Amino acid sequence: MMTPEQYEESLRKLKLKVYLQGELVENPVDHPIIRPSMNSVKMTYALAQDPQYEDLMTATSHLTGKKINRFTHLHQSAEDLVKKVKMQRLLGQKTASCFQRCVGMDAINAVDSTTFEMDRKLGTNYHERFTKFLLNMQEQDWTVDGAMTDPKGDRSLPPSKQADPDLFVHVVEKREDGIIVRGAKAHQTGAINSHMILVMPTIAMGPADVDYAVSFALPADAEGIFYIYGRQSCDTRKLEGGDIDVGNKQFGGHEALMIFDNVFVPWENVFMCGEIEFSGMLVERFAGYHRQSYGGCKVGVGDVLIGATALAADYSGVAKASHVKDKLIEMTHLNETLYSCGIACSAEGHKTASGTYLIDLLLANVCKQNVTRFPYEIARLAEDIAGGLMVTMPSEHDLRHLEIGKVVEKYFKGVCDIPTEQRMRILRLIENITLGTAAVGYRTESMHGAGSPQAQRIMIARQSNLEKKKELAKAIAGISKA
């Protein structure tokens, strides 16, 4: 397993082509806007080295028997699925942001079982190729970006009917030694902090979409791949030199648009190429795993937000008010409900044909459906208790100013024995999680990450088994089957 220092050094060796605010970034690792997101991924390596967290952060490879980082592991039991969620909550607590390796972990587990079943039915050899990739991932302790979401263009049309065929990643040429692909993947979490990219189709495909049913792996800096870094609210505060106004100076997340400009993929790295009947399975399984993930990571960030809100109440002298106590209870209730769903879909997991365990898909989608709602209420209550000062407060530069700093300190003090700076720091942290850069990994991502709310409702409808429920009701009511 890599140490955090080795991970950082490994990123420095990549030759990524990254654009940020219209400029080519020479050194993504040390760029002040990007580096906090790298620090979050770095934490996944740091905790894996800590004996205190060994049980959650590491696992035993079913391929080699060696100890590996859990982010490179295929789930071998329901217990593994539970530990995944507990690990994600821990990392959310440690970073208060998105730590970005979940997508790759969810992708390898989905691709593993899908390629196994595809080979068994069609006689292909994708699973053997994938297993070699996985072995390298475990041995090298790679961070892998799972790339599923395409730009999609006109949502009323399938990939093959789009006016621009590149709005979905597709095969443009098949050669003896591999394939050429073109297109883009949007909203790519942690892509610039990744060693490898694992591409998957974004929807179930029809017969006309055969060129779009493609899955493959490539180095993140492969020839023809480049990135356009996504904006986040308040991101340029990281360029100002201070740390209070950022809210969470050390950690963050990022998203990017990933472009494939006629990229060559050797056959040994191709895990699906035209097998449209299995594209839906891959999407469904990946989405299920990733919706499970939100019952861990969002809960960990929620723990930090609840703690910050309680401190804000302490610092302003309202902690004993009954309505404030009740709001903190409600925040905790909602947060633990999310966690309960993540644990439940894990505990109800089952073995697939490849031996890898899959979560209960119905409960995983229920988990994510709750995540599209509850963090918004948790954030609302946090903003309620924090008060308007959270968004009207002067800057750190004002606090540090030789003349007006004393004025800021005087008039924004709450409880007299708490320094004004501490109060400002907590309010900025709440702002960061609910409105700022961390909101990408908490508030807004809770809505759209792993699929928008309607995507979960479609899956809930598919998995709800209404006919069985009707039969249960008939039996109790005494209605004969005839």
Please identify which of the residues 44, 58, 102, 431 carries the catalytic annotation: 102
b/e map 279-318, b = 16+ CB within 10 Å: bebbbbbbbbbbbbbbbbbbbbbbbbbbebbbbbbbbbeb
Please identify which of the residues 95, 195, 290, 396 carries the catalytic annotation: 290
Active site residue 255: yes
Please identify which of the residues 7, 294, 315, 339 carries the catalytic annotation: 294
DSSP state of 395: P
Contact criterion met (CB below 8 Å) for 314 and 328: no
CA distance 389 to 394: 9
Between the alpha carbon of residue 246 and those of residues 235, 351, 430, the distances in Å are: 8, 44, 11
CA distance 114 to 123: 13
User: Which residues in 186-303 belong to E strands, given as ranges?
Assistant: 196-199, 214-219, 225-229, 256-266, 270-273
Active site residue 445: yes
Of residues 377, 373, 362, the one with CA closest to residue 457: 362
Active site residue 102: yes
Please identify which of the residues 8, 255, 284, 431 carries the catalytic annotation: 255
Please identify which of the residues 95, 189, 309, 434 carries the catalytic annotation: 189
Contact criterion met (CB below 8 Å) for 85 and 295: yes
Please identify which of the residues 53, 98, 126, 434 carries the catalytic annotation: 98
How many CA atoms, within 13 angstroms, populate the side-chain half-sphere of residue 435? 15
- The pair of structure tokens assigned to 254 is 């990022």
DSSP state of 214: E
Sign for the CA dihedral angle at 97, 99, 104, 105 comes to negative
* Orientation of helix 322-347 relative to helix 279-316, angle to 10°: 160
Please identify which of the residues 8, 284, 396, 445 carries the catalytic annotation: 445
CA distance 317 to 426: 14
Active site residue 23: no
For residue 14, give the amino acid letter.
L
The CB density around residue 226, as the number of other CB atoms within 10 Å, is 16
The CB density around residue 377, as the number of other CB atoms within 10 Å, is 12
With 0-12 / 13-18 / 19 or more C-beta atoms within 10 angstroms meaning exposed / middle / buried, residue 32 is: middle
DSSP H or E run through 345: helix 322-347
Active site residue 290: yes
The CB density around residue 25, as the number of other CB atoms within 10 Å, is 19
Q: Is 23 helix (H, G, I), strand (E, B) or coil?
A: strand
DSSP state of 231: P
Active site residues: 98, 102, 189, 255, 290, 294, 297, 445
